[in-house]
Structure formats: structure tokens, C-alpha cells
A and B are shown apart, each in its own frame.
Chain A
């Protein structure tokens, strides 16, 4: 489990440094795969059964396979698309991610002092914050989507550790929602490309005040 957590941290840090959409997506897939692994570990360690392995399998199906696939398909339609930001921005993102890791530890120590799995909790906080940071600091639609999913993964991890998984029906519902959300976001992204000839969300500033 600890190995998983450390590699998760590493991969999320990496996530902040990828500018090229395809690589970022692949990174996301890896990140989701780690989550799926964590999910299976936790599920099987608590006696298995349907509730034990189904979430893990679903994570693999939805987050590791389907979502990256859908995103990659969209990316294929995009020519010459990459997040064009300066190195400073990249470094800032990493720095903010580091800060949020520290913040994650602080919050966990402050609010839930005796919680077990302190590292995992902090990691999930870190993922949530990093996801938010990605949304705020990146302007490509795809990158914002990746940020959103990172955040979602963080919350999912938190739930997994704290509560050993939600009731099955709720988990199913959440998976369904994530699925639909990604489908809709992908549709929107392609529409954005059709209408604006770019997926840079900086052009979305006509509605003001």
C-alpha cells in the first residue's frame, strides 16, 4: 500500500509537468490505474465478495480504459495542440502542488489527529488540491478535464481509505456520473473545437458581468 501511495504522489507531481496532451492523458491513466490497484487492495483485504472487487474492476474499466481512450480520441482530432505555457507556470504548478501536499498533512493533523493512514489521507488531499490547481492554471479544455478527474480520484481515494468504500449502489452511481461527465465534456470539447477552432478555454471570456 505504501508503495502505491508513494508512486501516486510521484505520478501526480508528474501530472503537473506534462504539457503535451497525449502524455498528460497517459499519465492520468497511470494515476487511475494506481487508484484501481489501491481499490483492489483495500477491497480484497476486507474479505472480497462483489463489493470487494467490483469497484476496482469498474475503476479499471472506466478510468483506466474508457476515459483515457475517449480523451485520446478527441486529442487525435486536435492538430498541434499542446498547453503552451512558460516554464515558470509549470514550476509554479509543481510548487503549488508541493505546498498542497504540505497543506494536506497540516489539515489532516489539525482536523483528524488520530486518523489511521495519515499518508494516504494527505495524499488524497494533495490530489484534490492539485486537481484544482490544474484547473486553475491550465487553460486547455483537456487539461482542465484531467484536473477534474485528478480531483475526483483524490476524493475517491479519500473515501476508500476513510470508509473502506461507499455502499455499492452509491459507488455505481458515482461511476455512472463520472462516465456521463466525461462523455459530456468530450462532446463539449469537440464542439468547442468546431466553434472556436481551438480548445483553449481562454477564448471563453465573452460572457462577462
Chain B
């Protein structure tokens, strides 16, 4: 625990930079982000030793207690790594906030990291909720940083409201569990005496609460608004780590407090996860705002993680034995990998915004020439998010698919098989749509020709930002090519010895009958050999440069496919889900012989927001307005309230037994 205390001290120093005077804000910036970097580094190191077998002494002070088991260690590791990367990035990126509350940014950044680490270390319900709420507040402050913009503060407001509703659900779950135990420490809550009905309630509350924070459909609506509003390194950390912490909490509930799982819980978790994955990626492909794309992609990946987790739960409930760990391994591995690649992509988005000043990919094009390194790193990140082999995105995908195959082939019950097969199909859709989504993201922004002047003025990011992106790209590739350390760490977190056979350098899984193998190193070797051969044939090709033939005119950059156009077929294919709102208006006719000028507007409102949240909001306000009539201003009415209450209470008291 000393190590964690040391890390906390680092973050504490970072938080105290809030008190620096305005003239020293640059120093505050360096100190804060440096402290965050060191603190996260220490955390990552310590978490790694924990997974390697070290243990940690629990710490308690009054009503607070901190413990660390392997389940939290793996998330600590993830937090530490992502914290190091993003803090490094922030050293460069946050400089652009000089003069606009830079100290607040640095201080809250440290508070955010610290609170996430303390949530993971919390050893009782009180500490957990305390740091959970601090995490919410710190991230709220960070999201709200550019509060002059209307879109920013509405997003921050929506975020804090929804997260508070989620916290309310989590609190009810904790309090119900805790009141059925001797006290509120996790150890005591582990042997609670909840009866079966209450278990259902606790599950419902915990799942909805954590699903909200994790951004599962239909509770995801805050996420695509909050992420674009926040500064990029903050969105990186929120998406990369904070969502995983919700997953941590859910796992904590499932493993510790509700050890006996109902069949339908598992199905619900799995189906909700798969549906979130599908809808998330579908909306991601429709967006033009680069950070909204990434936010929806987070919804997708959290969905995949929960689907895998639900699959593991089903395996455990139905199959027994040792197989069921595969789903959990898949979920955790994917969570870990996703945090790295999502951090990378948000940092790329930040660099693009930094370089061009816009988030709209319709305005980009040909950025690869202006920002070559960013382009390279973004390409790696896009491949990872599209789950392409040899990046770490695929490792998780492979394990997820394996766990579903295992589930389906291990169960002969038709209904289970049908659920699982439907989720499997949805995951198949997800994979393919994710590919399309990131092809679009990368291709439209980095390739082709500039679509606006912004690109002409674009510039490459500074060395800190590039270093951070480079570091995470390297991690993406390393974890993709040599996934064993991650898988082993995850196995250690789940306290597995040899359940998951690891042969040589390859991942192997025998759960479904015969051995399934994935050996990325060998695959790399194969690809390298063939590539070498192909290179021999193609390195000396004769290349001639000339503009594409365009029926006698020179092609303009407006002839390129736009991002909206690129996703049109998918939009049409799923229009019953997306319900796009098109508006075509004909302008004045300028010339007798040429066509009319058109104005075309396309909007794809979030289905859930429109069908669920807006009516609820409308009714909430409507009912409130109605209820306000009870206070009409007449003193006689008010006294009659008192009188009526008195009479009623007297009657009640006379009847009370």
C-alpha cells in the first residue's frame, strides 16, 4: 500500500497546483501533469507486481478502508498505463489552455486520476461511493472546462445528471446488500444474507447503475455528448479508463456480492451488451464529429465487453466446470486492450483538433501529408478498433468469439443457443461495421485531397503528444503481436492456474472440443515472409504520376466522396433503425440551362434520446409545472394545509395500532 500512498501523494501535489497564482500557471501545468505521470507510473508498476504475485496490506483509517485484490489490480494496471500515456500527452496538449483555467485543468486532472485509483482500491461501500462520486465530480469539471460553449455545458449537465441517477441505483444496490450483511466492508458484504427476491433487485440496480456509467444502450446518451465536449486527453481517460471502472464495479458485484446467478441475469447482460455493441457502431458510422465517432465506438466496445461477460456468466451457470472463465478472460482482455487503443484514438483526435481546429471530418482530407506521424498512429489505432489481426483489438475479438462458440456448442438448450446465436450475429455485424467506420474515419480525414482550408493550415503536434501517441501505438502493436502477458495477467486476476492453456507463443483454447489456436507471432512471420517475396516483385515497379482522367476536366476536391456519402449505403440499409431526417430545399434557379441549386440537410437523431429521454423530460417538466399549482400564494390555502394535515394526522393517530 505504501506504493499507492506514494502515488496518491504525487496526485496530491498535482491537485495542490490549483492554488498556484495565476502568473505561475505554466509551472502549475508542468508540475501537475508531471505529478500525474509519475503517480500513474507508480500505480502501473505496483499493479504489475501485484499481478505477478505480490500482495498488499490492507489499509484502514476510521470509516475508510483500502484493499487490493487481483480483480482490482488488473484495472489498476490499466489505469496506470493509460494515466502515464495521457499525462504525457497532456504535457503537450494542455499547453493550449494557457490563460483559460489551465490550473483548474491540471488540478482536476490529478483529482480525476486519484479518484479512479481510489475507487479501485476501496474496500467498503462507503469509500467506493465516495470516490466514485469524486470521480464523477472531477470528470464533470473536466468535461465542463470550456464552459462558454453551450454544447459543452449542456453535455456536462447531462453527464452529471445521468451519472447521479446511476449512482443512485448503485447506492441502492450497495445499501441493500450492506443492510443484509454485518457491515459495509466488501469482505462482510461478500457473505450477505440477501434472499432471492432481493438479489433480483440488487442485480437490477447494480446492472443499471454500472451500465449507465459504462454507456450501454439505452443508458448511453450522455456519452456521445460528454466525450466531444471534454478536452481530448480527458475524453481519452474517460473513455479509456472510467468506463472500465464501471465494468470493475459490476464485476465486483457479480463475483463478490451475488455469487449465485440467475439464468435471466446472464441473458440480460449478454443481450444488452450485444445490442449496445451493434447500435453503438451503427451510430458511430453515421457521425461526422470525430470525437462522437470515437464515443459511439466506446459504446460499442463496452457492449462487446459486457456481452462477453454475460457469455461467461451463462457459461458458468449452464456449463459449470472450468470453461466459463473464457468469457471473463475475453471481457477483461478486451477491456484492457480497448483502453489502450481508445486512448490512442482520442489522442489522435486531439492532435487533429489541435492541428486543424475542427472536429468535423467533412472538412478534412489529405491530412496525412500535413501530419504524417499522427496519420501513422491514427492508422494503427483505426486498425485496432476495427479488430484487425496483429493489433491488440483482435486478441479480445478472438477470445470473445471463442467464448460465444464455446457457449453455443456446450449447450443443447435451443433457447440459450438462440440467444447466443443472435448475440453472435450482432457481434458479427459489429465487427464488420467497425471496420467500415474506421475505414471512413481514417480515409476521409487523412487521405485524398483537402476539403477545406483548415487542412492547409494544419500542423503536426508537438513532441509530447507524438511521444504519447507513439507509445500507445507501440503498445497496441506489441500487445497485438505478443498478447500473452496481457492474457496471463488477466488469468492471474481471475485466479486461474492452467485453465487457459498457453502453448509456446500462442493462445490456445480447448473448451469447445478440439484445440483452437491463435498464434500472432507465427502469423506475423508468415506475413513477413510473403511480404518479403512481394516486395521483391514490386519494389522496382515503374511509377508514373499523373492526374486521374476526368472526362477532359481536372478533378476537383469536391468530387471526392464525403463522409456522409460514404456511410449512405449503411444508412439506407438500416434506415428503419436510424430514421434519418432529410431535408432538401430547392433554391432559386440561377441559370436556365443548369440544374437548380439544392440545399440538403441530414440529421440522424439518437433514437433512444428521441423516443425515450425527450418524452420523459417533457413530461417531467410538464408534471412539475402542474404540481406547482399547489403553492398558489393564498395564505388561507396555506393555513388550510396545516389544518388538514393536523386533522388527518389526528385521525391517523387515533386509528394507529
Chain A residues proximal to chain B, CB less than 8 Å:
107, 110-111, 132-133, 135-139, 144, 201-202, 204-209
Is there contact, CB below 8 Å, between B633 and A206? yes
Q: Which of A137, A206, A207 contacts B636 (CB 8 A)?
A: A137
Contact A204 B643, CB 8 Å, known A107-B650, A110-B654? no
Is there contact, CB below 8 Å, between A208 and B633? yes
Complex alpha-carbon distance, A111 and B651, angstroms: 10
Is there contact, CB below 8 Å, between B650 and A135? no
- B625's nearest neighbour on chain A, judged by CB, is A209
Is there contact, CB below 8 Å, between A202 and B634? yes
Is there contact, CB below 8 Å, between A204 and B632? no
Contact A139 B632, CB 8 Å, known A110-B654, A111-B654, A132-B643? no
CB distance from B144 to the nearest CB of A (A): 28
B631: A residues at CB distance < 8 A: 208-209
Is there contact, CB below 8 Å, between A135 and B639? yes
CB distance from A48 to the nearest CB of B (A): 36
A139: B residues at CB distance < 8 A: 636
- Interface residue? B54 (CB, 8 A): no
B628: A residues at CB distance < 8 A: 208-209
- Interface residue? B640 (CB, 8 A): yes
B635: A residues at CB distance < 8 A: 144, 201, 204
Complex alpha-carbon distance, A139 and B636, angstroms: 7
The 7 closest A-B pairs by CB, nearest first: A205-B633, A209-B628, A208-B633, A136-B640, A132-B643, A135-B639, A136-B636
Question: Can you list 11 residue pairs at the A/B interface with Cβ under 8 Å?
Answer: A107-B654, A135-B639, A136-B639, A137-B636, A138-B636, A139-B636, A201-B635, A204-B634, A205-B634, A206-B633, A208-B633
A201: B residues at CB distance < 8 A: 635-636
Contact A204 B633, CB 8 Å, known A111-B654, A209-B628? yes
- B646's nearest neighbour on chain A, judged by CB, is A132
A107: B residues at CB distance < 8 A: 650, 654
Complex alpha-carbon distance, A195 and B628, angstroms: 27
CB distance from B628 to the nearest CB of A (A): 4
B632: A residues at CB distance < 8 A: 205, 208
B634: A residues at CB distance < 8 A: 202, 204-205
Is there contact, CB below 8 Å, between B636 and A135? yes
CB distance from B409 to the nearest CB of A (A): 63
A202: B residues at CB distance < 8 A: 634
Chain B residues proximal to chain A, CB less than 8 Å:
628, 631-636, 639-640, 642-643, 650, 654
CB distance from B622 to the nearest CB of A (A): 14
User: Most chain-B CB neighbours within 10 Å: which of A136, A202, A204?
Assistant: A136
A133: B residues at CB distance < 8 A: 643
Is there contact, CB below 8 Å, between A136 and B633? no
A110: B residues at CB distance < 8 A: 654
- A111's nearest neighbour on chain B, judged by CB, is B654
- B637's nearest neighbour on chain A, judged by CB, is A136
CB distance from A137 to the nearest CB of B (A): 7
Complex alpha-carbon distance, A204 and B632, angstroms: 10
A138: B residues at CB distance < 8 A: 636
B643: A residues at CB distance < 8 A: 132-133, 136
Complex alpha-carbon distance, A205 and B632, angstroms: 7
Complex alpha-carbon distance, A206 and B643, angstroms: 23
A204: B residues at CB distance < 8 A: 633-635
- A141's nearest neighbour on chain B, judged by CB, is B635
- B633's nearest neighbour on chain A, judged by CB, is A205
Contact A132 B650, CB 8 Å, known A202-B634, A206-B633? no
Complex alpha-carbon distance, A41 and B632, angstroms: 46
Complex alpha-carbon distance, A191 and B639, angstroms: 22
B639: A residues at CB distance < 8 A: 132, 135-136
A135: B residues at CB distance < 8 A: 636, 639
- A138's nearest neighbour on chain B, judged by CB, is B636
Complex alpha-carbon distance, A202 and B634, angstroms: 7
Besides A135-B639, A144-B635, A206-B633, 4 new A-B residue pairs in contact (Cβ under 8 A), listed by A number: A204-B635, A207-B633, A208-B632, A209-B631
Complex alpha-carbon distance, A192 and B628, angstroms: 26
Complex alpha-carbon distance, A205 and B638, angstroms: 11
Complex alpha-carbon distance, A209 and B642, angstroms: 18
Complex alpha-carbon distance, A43 and B131, angstroms: 65
B636: A residues at CB distance < 8 A: 135-139, 201
CB distance from A18 to the nearest CB of B (A): 18
- A106's nearest neighbour on chain B, judged by CB, is B654
CB distance from A129 to the nearest CB of B (A): 8
Complex alpha-carbon distance, A202 and B631, angstroms: 14
A209: B residues at CB distance < 8 A: 628, 631
CB distance from B359 to the nearest CB of A (A): 41
CB distance from A100 to the nearest CB of B (A): 10
CB distance from B649 to the nearest CB of A (A): 12
CB distance from A46 to the nearest CB of B (A): 30
Complex alpha-carbon distance, A202 and B635, angstroms: 8
CB distance from B352 to the nearest CB of A (A): 48
Complex alpha-carbon distance, A208 and B635, angstroms: 11
Complex alpha-carbon distance, A133 and B639, angstroms: 9
CB distance from B69 to the nearest CB of A (A): 52
Complex alpha-carbon distance, A111 and B652, angstroms: 12
B640: A residues at CB distance < 8 A: 136
Complex alpha-carbon distance, A138 and B636, angstroms: 8
Complex alpha-carbon distance, A137 and B636, angstroms: 7
Complex alpha-carbon distance, A201 and B636, angstroms: 9
A136: B residues at CB distance < 8 A: 636, 639-640, 643
